[in-house]
Structure 1
Amino acid sequence: MPTSELMPIGVFARRCGLTASALRFYADSGLLPPAETDPSSGYRYYHTGQLERADLLRRLRGIAMPLATVERVLGAAPDEAARLVDEHAARIAGEAADTLRRAAALRTALGAAVPGTPIAALKGPVLADAVEQVLTATAHEPGLPVLAGLRLEAGPEGVSLIATDRYRLSVRTLTPTEPADRAWAGTLHGDDLRAALGEVRRSTLVRLEATPHGVRLRMAGRSDRLCRQLPGEFPDHRPVLASLGGPTTRATVAKGPFLRALEDHPGERLALRVADGGVSVLPADGTGSGVRLPAAVTGEELCVRFGLTTLHPAVSTALGPDVMLDLRGPDRPVTLRSADGGDLTTLAMPVPPLPDS
């Protein structure tokens, strides 16, 4: 073996991202023996061709895969290796979900003795639908935990649910079955709410109670669920809504065909051209025939570009068979609402045109 292709254990460790002690452990385990060992000093040398195996070993251990399974993956054909990785990931996900359920039950039990202050009472199916719709506008971003949460604001006008990922803003206001007992505002952990949705949906009435660390959901005949309050300041949506102004163009289009056109669109971005009698879903440069959908349109012709992952969820969560779009220009937020009532309002931010488009 050419000496130029060998490297000391320290150099190899830096190249592959493993520590020297980890390499010694994997060598002794038989998973990654050195290419050569100096018989007099015992010093270990590794070959450049071992870097790929070392990198894979590091990544497999990075997902907490047991050594026995790692050995099977390293010795398996690609299809079998992929199956073993999926099997391990499914087991980890199952264990994590079970841990979350146990933690939620324990958290509720520990907080049972903490008195809660009544906020409002809502119909369970209505609350579940609203939470599910609004949570589509959340995002997990490092340093901004509130973007993964749902803002709950209760007051005389009702209970408002708000979420934003900075590209979408969803707001829905519910009328309580019983008037709000007090004003309350806080950002609740989105994962806690998702975990409680099944029980909430099956409950005729859900009573919301404020606790020092979140909101307790009380449901007759079911265990209480405690939704944690997230730290940090939630973006104030009111100035955004207040500054929108009236639309320059309004279009009402059937939700089903609109969604199908978006789902069939091949690109990550698209152009939405709104003109008399129709809404067209076009390639991002705004050219081509695309898919033209019949629509009731008032106002000036307009072309606005969106990221597919921004527009599709905004349309899919709209209430009713038709969607109303209020457009204000190519660089202004578009408001999406149900055309026949409903109280879910979603803002979708457009993206800038492609160069030379």
Structure 2
Amino acid sequence: MPNFELMPIGVFAQRTGLTSSALRFYADSGLLPPAETDPVSGYRYYTADQVAKTIELRQLREIAMPLQAVEAVLDAEPDDAARLIDEHVAKVLGGAEAVQQKAALIKSSLTNESSVPIAALKGPVLADAIEQVLTATASDPGMPVLGGLHVEARGEELTLTATDRYRLATRTLIPVEPAATTWAATVSGDELRAALGEIRRSMLVRVEATSHGIWLRTADREDRHCRLLPEEFPDHRLMLASLSEVTSRVTLPKDLLLRALEEHSGRWLSLCVTRHGLKALAADDEHPGFSLPAVVTGQALQISFELTTLYPAISTVIGPDVMLDLRGPGQPVTVRSADRGDLTTLAMPVKPDHSA
């Protein structure tokens, strides 16, 4: 259709994904006047030149942008328009977070629900632990629990665990004040992420549990609430108990391994463990491998990983040296610090042909 050819409002509505009534509203508000209006019948007509702007208008309204802000975006240069969109999104997210916290307070007052003290921890330590373990979560609508953090309080320990089925990360913390009771539940990972800033800036965080969530209480900041996920968390203890014996152990500097993984341009890599060190075999001629010095004990073997599985497991290791405990080509590898044992990650390998 030539740009100058007029379209009736019904045809234009189909082209742009808006209803005729919405187009009339935007015309009457002055945001999107028709190209021409029949003075006798009042019929409105549009041109092909108006299609792109109308689609952009529709998309902006789909993200709940007010009309005044939509008009500003449509009239702005690309850089300014992008900034205005970012400002709107930040405002919406901030409002949603505030609503979430107020809703938690309302629910608590409605049920007069008391909270049970779980443990008290140093804020920066708790924030780092949550951030490290949450790297093993996944967004899966079919299994929402994979996006959560499983929290277990047992006397002198508070254990955080997460899994996306390809990785499992677990870290054990020693509370400043021990757990008042044995307690376990899975907490929303998204809501914990949103609370990380407040947790990290607090000297002491007291964790209290209710039947629907946990409260993160601080002395000088606003309390934060994170809801519990109702789905059952995978039986990670059974999986850990059923792991076979370690056949090879590799210890090497974390920074060297991370740098090599960052420079590796392929999607997969095969690690070859020998008594001389660790070598990554090239998947093809376009993605060369690398060799790294390492302390190796046990059997020589070759094992393959997807880079997006192995890299996060290595990056969260605490300390300068990383230790890899290997059990064979088809078995999960345990990744942890060479001198600290409170954070452990299991990473699942792939078959040599790169199938899961």
TM-score w.r.t. length of structure 1: 0.82
The answer for the alignment partner of 1:174 in structure 2 is 173
Distance 1:120 1:251, change over 3 A: same
Q: Which moved more, 1:165-174 or 1:110-119?
A: 110-119
Counterpart of 2:78?
81
3-state SS of the aligned residue for 1:104? helix
Q: Tell me how far apart the structure 2 counterparts of residues 121 and 3 of structure 1 sit (CA, whole Å).
A: 67
**Cα 1:341–1:84, aligned 2, differ >3 Å: closer, same or farther?**
same
Find the counterpart in structure 2 of residue 63 from structure 1.
Answer: 63
The answer to whether the 8 Å contact 2:303/2:349 transfers is no
Q: Which residue of 2 aligns with 1:301?
A: 301
Which stretch shifts more, 270-279 or 198-207? 198-207
Q: 1:220 to 1:85 in 2, by over 3 A?
A: closer
SS at structure 1 position matched to 2:293: strand
Deviates more, 1:296-305 or 1:3-12: 3-12
CA contact (8 A) 1:121 1:178 kept: yes
Cα deviation code 1:141-200 (max 9, x no counterpart) = 335433332111122572211112333211112234444332211111224433444454
Q: Is the 8 A contact 1:285 1:353 kept in 2?
A: no
Q: Which residue of 2 aligns with 1:341?
A: 340
- How has the CA–CA distance of structure 1 residues 205 and 355 changed in structure 2, closer, same or farther, with 3 Å as cutoff? closer
Q: Deviation of residue 131 (structure 1)?
A: 1.5
**CA-to-partner distance for each residue in 1:27-75, whole Å, 9 max, x for gaps?**
3344444455455533334444543332222112222333344334434
| SS class of match (1:136) | helix
**Counterpart of 1:20?**
20
SS in 2 for 1:185: strand
TM-score, structure 2 as length reference? 0.82
Q: Kindly tell me: are residues 43 and 94 of structure 1, through their superposed partners in 2, closer, same or farther at Cα, counting changes over 3 Å?
A: closer
Q: Which amino acid aligns with 1:345?
A: T
* Aligned partners of 1:119 and 1:210 also within 8 Å: yes
Tell whether the 8 Å contact from 2:271 to 2:281 is kept in structure 1 after alignment: yes
- 2:15·2:51 contact (CA, 8 Å) conserved in 1? yes
Q: Distance between the aligned counterparts of 2:224 and 2:169, measured in 1? A: 24
What amino acid does structure 1 have at the position aligned with 2:115?
A: G
| Cα offsets for 1:279-333 (capped at 9, x unmatched) | 345655487533322122332231413133x322211111111111223444443
Secondary structure of the equivalent of 1:261? Answer: helix
Of 148-157 and 189-198, the range deviating more from structure 2: 189-198
* Alignment partner, residue 9 of structure 2: 9
**Identical counterparts, % of pairs:** 58
Distance 2:313 2:8 in 1: 56
CA root-mean-square deviation: 3.4
Q: Is the CA contact (8 Å cut-off) linking 1:149 and 1:189 kept in structure 2?
A: yes
Instruction: State the match for 2:164 in structure 1.
Output: 165
Deviations 1:108-128 (A, max 9, x none): 587486432233343444323
- In 1, Cα distance between the equivalents of 2:217 and 2:2? 72
What is the count of residue pairs matched by the alignment? Answer: 351
Asked if the contact 1:306/1:351 (under 8 Å) is kept, the reply is yes
C-alpha displacement at 1:351, in angstroms?
Answer: 4.3
> How many Å separate the matches in 2 of 1:297 and 1:289?
23
Paired with 1:346 and 1:192, the residues of 2 have a C-alpha distance of 22
Q: Do the aligned partners of 1:326 and 1:334 also contact (CA within 8 Å) in 2?
A: yes
Q: Kindly provide the amino acid, as one letter, of the partner of residue 14 in structure 1.
A: Q
Q: Distance in 2 between matches of 1:235 and 1:350?
A: 19
Matched, 1:104 2:101: yes
1:226 aligns with 225
Distance in 1 of aligned mates of 2:10 and 2:352:
50
Structure 2 residue aligned with 1:270, among 261, 265, 268?
Answer: 268
Task: Name the residue aligned to 2:44.
Answer: 44
